[in-house]
Amino acid sequence: MSYARITGTGGYLPKKVLKNKDLESLLDTTDEWIYTRTGIRQRHIAADNEFTCDLAEQAARIALDAAQRTPDEVDLIVVATTTPDQVFPSTACLLQERLGIHGCPAFDVQAVCAGFIYAMDVAQRYIQTGASRCALVVGAETFSRILDWSDRSTCVLFGDGAGAMVLESSSEPGILSSHLHADGAYKDLLCVPVGVSTAYRELLNGQAYTEMQGREVFKWAVSALGDAVMEAVKANGLSCLDIDWLVPHQANIRIINAIARRLDLSMDNVVVTIGRHGNTSAASIPLAFDEAVRDGRIKDGQTIIIEGFGGGFTWGSLLFKF
Ligand code: ACO
| Neighbour count for residue 275 (Cβ, 10 Å) | 15
> What integer is the mean pLDDT of 77-89?
97
- Model confidence band, residue 204 (pLDDT cutoffs 50, 70, 90): confident
Q: Establish how many alpha carbons lie within 13 A of residue 312's alpha carbon, considering only the half-sphere containing its beta carbon.
A: 21
299 has a pLDDT exceeding 90: yes
Residue 150 phi, psi (nearest 5):
-105, 0
Asked if residue 89 has a cis previous peptide bond (ω within 30° of 0), the answer is yes
> What integer is the mean pLDDT of 118-139?
98
33 shares a domain with 163: yes
Cβ–ligand 1 distance for 190 under 6 Å, the answer: yes
> What integer is the mean pLDDT of 255-262?
94
266 shares a domain with 163: no
**pTM as predicted:** 0.96
- Model confidence band, residue 293 (pLDDT cutoffs 50, 70, 90): very high
- Among the candidates 120, 140, 172, a domain finishes at 172
241 shares a domain with 167: no
Which pLDDT tens digit goes with each residue over 217-247? 999 999 999 999 999 999 999 999 999 999 9
In angstroms, the CA 43 to CA 1 distance is: 41
How many domains, in total, are found in the chain? 2
Q: Count of residues for the chain?
A: 322
Supply the CATH number for residue 184's domain.
3.40.47.10
192 shares a domain with 164: no
| Chain center to CA of 307 | 9
> What integer is the mean pLDDT of 274-285?
98
Cβ–ligand 1 distance for 284 under 6 Å, the answer: no
93 shares a domain with 200: no
- Among the candidates 172, 200, 235, a domain finishes at 172
Amino acid letter at 88? F
What 3-state DSSP class applies to 194? coil
Dist. CA 27 → ligand 1 center (Å): 14
What 3-state DSSP class applies to 77? strand
263 has a pLDDT exceeding 90: no
182 shares a domain with 307: yes
1 has a pLDDT exceeding 90: no
- Among the candidates 172, 193, 218, a domain finishes at 172
Beta carbons of 139 and 122 less than 8 angstroms apart: no
93 shares a domain with 77: yes
Average of per-residue pLDDT values in the chain: 97
Atom of ligand 1 nearest to the CA of 156: 7
121 shares a domain with 210: no
Dist. CA 118 → ligand 1 center (Å): 27
Atom of ligand 1 nearest to the CA of 309: 48
* pLDDT > 70 fraction of the chain, expressed in percent and rounded: 100
Strands 134-142 and 175-182, by their bridges, are unpaired
In angstroms, the CA 184 to CA 13 distance is: 31
Ligand 1, atom 23, lies closest to the CA of: 153
- What angle in degrees, to the nearest 10, is found between the helix axes of 91-99 and 52-66? 50
190 shares a domain with 103: no
Residues acting as catalytic residues: 113, 249, 279
**Least confidently predicted of 72-81, 134-143, 259-268, 311-320:** 259-268
182 shares a domain with 53: no
What is residue 150's DSSP assignment? Answer: T
183 shares a domain with 166: no
Q: Domain range for residue 256? A: 176-321
What is the structure's pLDDT at 123? 98
22 shares a domain with 42: yes
Close Cβ partners of 47 (under 8 Å, ≥ 6 residues apart): 14, 15, 16
What is residue 232's DSSP assignment? Answer: H
125 has a pLDDT exceeding 90: yes
| Chain center to CA of 199 | 27
> What integer is the mean pLDDT of 245-265?
95
Helices and strands in the chain, H and E counts: 11, 13
| Neighbour count for residue 50 (Cβ, 10 Å) | 16
Residue 181 phi, psi (nearest 5):
-145, 155
Cβ–ligand 1 distance for 317 under 6 Å, the answer: no
Amino acid letter at 140? A
200 has a pLDDT exceeding 90: no
* pLDDT > 90 fraction of the chain, expressed in percent and rounded: 95
Cβ–ligand 1 distance for 191 under 6 Å, the answer: no
94 has a pLDDT exceeding 80: yes
What is the structure's pLDDT at 201? 82
